[in-house]
Amino acid sequence: MNTKSSATVLNLSDKIGRAPLPSVVTDLLREHIIEGKLAPGTRLNERELCEQLGVSRTPLREAFRLLAFEGLIDMQPNRGARVTVLSLTDIRESFTVLGALETLSGQLACQNATDEEIREIVALTHEMKAFYVRDDLPNYYRLNRSIHSRLIQAARNNLLEQTHTHLNQRVQSLRFRSNLNHDKWSNAMAEHQAMAEALARRDGDELGRLLSAHLQRKCDAVLEALAEQDDSHEPSA
């Protein structure tokens, strides 16, 4: 792992509490991958991470195993672990399938969600907007993830939830980075407000349409950012 990436990993002393240590390590590394503090392609050096986190290799390797199952890291024989790098095809296909799953989840959530679940999602949307106004992207995105997760749960379809959860983990860092452009972040916030209103009306067709368009714009933003990144790395003539 390079020095810059290593320096971003936090100490676990304020996070352990009663949670099992592998779970705490997994959550911390996942958070850093999603927020780009551990960038795609970063090699994860076991010895360095154990020293930085103050843990033995046993919980760290368990965390690696769980993150590999989620598709966030690759375990390479004789080369260790690295943060997963998705190809452009992987990205397009992932967002296409996620868009279909979230469209269906919106339709089913409007049919099956309890009134209390709807109130909670609407309340979380208002809370998320407060973080948007404060320009606090990490906390905004924490609530964003919770909202999408609650919509999936409210659909009351276990297979849908399992499939979505596994696929969505792969692109969480990309969904986070799509908000680094403030204009796109502003549009995403407006879309979430419209989603909350459609859910409150139990308008499944409208919520499904909004979720599909939302995912497509996320995909477009990600691909645009990656293209700009590639252009910036090209040598000048």
The H or E element spanning position 160 is helix 158-170
| pLDDT tens, per residue, the chain with 237 residues | 343 444 454 555 555 454 568 899 999 999 999 988 999 999 999 999 999 888 999 999 999 999 999 999 999 887 889 999 999 999 999 999 999 999 999 999 999 999 999 999 999 999 999 999 999 999 999 999 999 999 999 999 999 999 999 899 889 889 888 888 889 999 999 999 999 999 999 999 999 999 999 999 999 999 998 888 766 555 544
Look-up: residue for tokens 């190809």?
A: 87
Residue 180 has a pLDDT of 86
How much is the pLDDT for 7? 42
Q: Each residue of 45-61: b (16+ CB within 10 Å) or e?
A: beeebbebbebeeebbb
Q: Are 157 and 74 within 8 A, CB to CB?
A: no
Residue 179: phi and psi, rounded to 5, are -90, 0
pLDDT at 189: 97
pTM of the model: 0.78
In angstroms, rounded to a whole number, what is the distance separating the alpha carbons of residues 33 and 73?
A: 9
Q: Which residue in this structure is represented by tokens 């309890």?
A: 114
**pLDDT computed for residue 229 by the predictor:** 77
Could you give phi then psi for residue 44, rounded to 5 degrees? Answer: -100, 105
pLDDT at 207: 98
pLDDT at position 80: 87
Angle at 107 between CA 106 and CA 108, to 5 degrees: 95
b/e sequence 197-235, b meaning 16+ C-beta within 10 Å: ebbbeebbebbbbbbbebbebbbebbbebeeeeeeeeee
Whose tokens are 């909202």? That residue is 147
| In contact, 132 and 225? CB cutoff 8 Å | no
pLDDT of residue 77: 82
Exposure on the CB side of residue 28, measured as CA atoms within 13 A: 23
Its CATH class, for the domain covering 3-83, is: mainly alpha
The residues spanned by each domain of the chain are 3-83, 88-233
**Domain 88-233, CATH class in plain words:** mainly alpha
User: Given this model, what pLDDT does residue 78 score?
Assistant: 79
